């Protein structure tokens, strides 16, 4: 199964390296028992000058080729990672979110407008991800049972639901 792993690229990521995806996919392959490969977004950038259009084009092209997109929802996820989530929806790719428990996007409890929300999942993560996982074991299970992907129509559907409430 071909994967695209979206998430923070910088060496200051939680993993402390630019190339954290290799170990991430290896750990996930061992946990799932699946044959996994990933199309590394950094593999195409080392031998060229920085070109922002190329970075965007390349990521769209890579996401188009995979069976599933996984987004690592670190507390400091980049704009690029969140945009890759919507690109996955546009391209009708299953999107699995890894949101560690008690991180910014997945909490046992969160206060919102003076109310305590139990089992909080960030609304944008909830709406775009086909499944949200807290750890590698849940991720492995999600890959073994890939969900049907939501599509970019989630945006029109949300607008329509709101218009019906007016």
**Secondary structure (H, E, C), 91-155:** CCCCEEEECCCCECCEEEEEEECCEEEEEEECHHHHHHCCEEECCHHHHHHHHHCCCCCCCCHHH
Separation CA 111–CA 120 (nearest Å): 9
Residue 31 pLDDT > 70, yes or no?
A: yes
Q: For residue 62, what pLDDT is reported?
A: 97
Mean pLDDT of the chain: 92
Whole-model pTM: value is 0.90
What architecture does CATH give domain 2-165? 3-Layer(aba) Sandwich (3.40)
Domain boundaries, the chain: 2-165
Residue 50 pLDDT > 60, yes or no?
A: yes
Query: pLDDT tens across 101-157, in order?
Result: 999 999 999 999 999 999 999 999 999 999 999 999 999 999 999 999 999 999 999
Separation CA 138–CA 132 (nearest Å): 9
Residue 19 pLDDT > 90, yes or no?
A: no
Q: For residue 10, what pLDDT is reported?
A: 54
Q: What is the mean pLDDT of residues 75-82?
A: 90
């Amino acid at each position: 199964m071909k994967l695209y792993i979206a998430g923070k690229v910088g060496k200051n990521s939680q993993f402390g390296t630019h190339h954290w995806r290799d170990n991430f996919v290896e750990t996930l392959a061992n946990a799932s028992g699946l044959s996994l490969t990933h199309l590394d977004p950094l593999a195409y950038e080392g031998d060229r000058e920085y070109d922002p259009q190329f970075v965007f084009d390349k990521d769209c092209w890579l996401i188009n080729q995979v069976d599933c997109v996984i987004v690592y929802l670190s507390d400091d996820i980049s704009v690029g990672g969140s945009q890759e989530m919507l690109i996955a929806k546009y391209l009708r790719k299953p999107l699995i979110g890894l949101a560690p428990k008690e991180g910014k996007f997945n909490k046992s409890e969160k206060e919102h407008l003076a109310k305590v929300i139990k089992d909080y999942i960030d609304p944008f993560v909830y709406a775009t991800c086909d499944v949200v996982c807290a750890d590698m074991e849940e991720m492995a299970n999600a890959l073994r049972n890939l969900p049907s992907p939501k599509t970019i129509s989630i945006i029109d559907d949300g607008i329509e639901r709101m218009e019906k409430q007016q």
